Structure 1
Amino acid sequence: MLDGQLGTLAAVILAGGRASRLHGRDKPMIAVGGVPMLTRVVGAAVEAGAAPVVVVGPDRDETPAGVRVVREEPAGGGPVAAAAAGMAAIEPVGVVALLASDLPYMSAPALLVLMDALGNADGALFVDEHGRRQLLCGVWNRTALRGAIDAFGDTGGGSLRRLVRDLDVVEVRWDGEKAPYVDCDTEEDLRRVGL
């Protein structure tokens, strides 16, 4: 972690959506290796020093302890609305991790790689082997992300790509196995990660 940033990380985890490609299953609570994906992502954020950790989505009985749960307005309003709701629920901190809830390989070391890469940029994101930005696997300067949300207008149905298009973003490649940005949108994805 960067010097002077200890204790300045918060996490916003997006855990809503309809999971239509998984036939309506509660995707964040699907266990990979015996552990729900949401629990894995929350655990990685906590281990990296994130406080608070905010989950945006429905309140679940199985939500990991110690997290705050909020809903986007309107419910089901998409990722920008969810990011806005999560950001509104945290105190001003230096850096915010904005993460999907279906990242079975997310880890504290991965978040620390992003923190180290952030420097003075507005954000740091993992990019996949094809150079595609993984918009829900990054860390952001809170002021820059808050400003982008405030300037966005109506967040309902908004695109994350549009939200961050004018921000200064560092693109980070993962060198190890089990890339932390791998997500699980389909049954095939779940099979690939060993479910």
Structure 2
Amino acid sequence: MTAYAAIVLSGGAARRMGGVDKPARPVGGRPMLHRVLAAVADAAPRIVVGPAGPLPEDVRLTREEPPGGGPVAATAAGLALLDPGTPTVALLAGDLPLLTPAALADLRGALDGSAADVTCYVNGSAADVACYVDGEGRRQQLCAVWRAAALRAAVDRLAAERGGTVDGAPVRGLLAGAVVREVSWSGSGPPPWFDCDTDEDVRRAEEWTR
């Protein structure tokens, strides 16, 4: 598989958790953000966008403009730190405590066609992005691997549609014009796309990590 970078979004208001620093909440004894970073330990660079506490020294930290501008603005900030030659990039939420290297490898294989049981084409077109879908067919938009050029183009398209800004743009807008390879999780263990929006979600994730 080709080399890849990772952009991890650690912002968000966490309103359903009372405004706490959600990615910093521990699951299985480690902050959720650190669990996500461990799942992409082989990515270079690894970029965290948003507020964050101490990070591994090779992880780069940046902020979206304006702060609190949402996931698309955060994505744009992460992309600004990538080398122009970066081929693919994982775009991930910072609250995915069950994400694993194997799950990322499946997404990467689905995008570049290196896995034996997947294809990187959708209806005859090369995929721009591979993302997980849950059991009800909902796309997990922040558990995805993109071709970097396609992600830049998606951000630019949204900015053009919104008068030159992506402040407040919904993340689903990134997928609107993209060729999407949907991937169902078939591995062992809990779903890697499970995100923690509530205290109950954190409790469920804790149970899965025991």
After TM superposition, the score normalised by the length of structure 2 is 0.86
Q: Is 1:50–2:61 an aligned residue pair?
A: no
The Cα of 1:42 is off from its aligned counterpart by: 0.6
Q: Is 1:26–2:21 an aligned residue pair?
A: yes
The Cα of 1:89 is off from its aligned counterpart by: 1.1
Distance in structure 2 (CA, Å) of the matches to 1:102 and 1:96: 18
The equivalent residue for 1:87 is 79
Structural mapping, 1:64-79, within 5 Å = 64-79=56-71
| DSSP 3-state at the match of 2:145 | strand
Q: Is 1:165–2:157 an aligned residue pair?
A: no
Distance in structure 2 (CA, Å) of the matches to 1:51 and 1:66: 9
| Aligned residues: CA RMSD | 1.1
Query: What per-residue deviation string (whole Å, max 9, x for no partner) do you get for residues 56-89 of structure 1?
Result: 00142x2233210000000000010001101111
Of the three residues 130, 136, 152, the one matched with 1:124 is 130
Unaligned 5+ residue runs, structure 2? 113-125, 160-164
Q: What one-letter code is carried by the residue in structure 2 that aligns with 1:34?
A: G
Distance in structure 1 (CA, Å) of the matches to 2:206 and 2:60: 29
- Determine what percentage of the aligned residue pairs are the same residue: 50
The equivalent residue for 2:195 is 183
| DSSP 3-state at the match of 2:5 | strand
1:133–1:39 CA distance, 2 compared to 1 (3 A): same
Q: What one-letter code is carried by the residue in structure 2 that aligns with 1:123?
A: V
The equivalent residue for 1:174 is 185
Q: What one-letter code is carried by the residue in structure 1 that aligns with 2:180?
A: V
The Cα of 1:151 is off from its aligned counterpart by: 1.7
Of the three residues 142, 147, 165, the one matched with 1:141 is 147
| DSSP 3-state at the match of 1:194 | helix
Distance in structure 2 (CA, Å) of the matches to 1:44 and 1:59: 17
Unaligned 5+ residue runs, structure 1? none
Distance in structure 2 (CA, Å) of the matches to 1:98 and 1:178: 20
Q: What one-letter code is carried by the residue in structure 1 that aligns with 2:129?
A: G
Q: How many equivalent pairs are there? A: 187
Q: What one-letter code is carried by the residue in structure 2 that aligns with 1:189?
A: D
Greater than 6 Å deviation, 4+ residue runs: none
After TM superposition, the score normalised by the length of structure 1 is 0.93
Larger radius of gyration: 2
Q: Is 1:41–2:33 an aligned residue pair?
A: no
| DSSP 3-state at the match of 1:113 | helix
8 Å Cα contact 2:131-2:141 kept in structure 1 = yes
